[in-house]
């Protein structure tokens, strides 16, 4: 069994706490919003196109993974 360790400090996985569902005020790049730390991933929109450094990226179907 591997132990969880960060910068020389060991952590017990059994005592690990999950994020709270209580909304918390966040600030990101000057924008303030209130969200919970515990959240579900957003649903994948297959029609959405992402642009990164001059290239277009599309979501791939789950069937192609494997």
The helix/strand/coil state of 15 is helix
- Rounded Cα–Cα distance for residues 37 and 66 (Å): 31
Q: Find, among 66, 62, 63, the residue nearest to 44 by Cα.
A: 62
Indicate the Cα dihedral angle 4, 9, 13, 14, nearest 10°: 150
CB 48 within 8 A of CB 59: yes
Residue 55 has what pLDDT?
Answer: 92
Q: pLDDT tens for residues 13-58? A: 777 777 778 888 888 888 888 888 877 777 888 888 889 999 998 8
């Amino acid at each position: 069994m591997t132990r969880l360790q960060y910068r020389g400090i060991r952590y017990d996985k059994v005592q690990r706490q999950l994020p709270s569902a209580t909304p918390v005020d966040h600030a990101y790049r000057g924008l303030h919003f209130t969200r919970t730390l515990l959240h579900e991933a957003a649903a994948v929109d297959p029609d959405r196109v992402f642009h990164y450094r001059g290239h277009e990226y599309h979501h791939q179907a789950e069937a192609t993974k494997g």
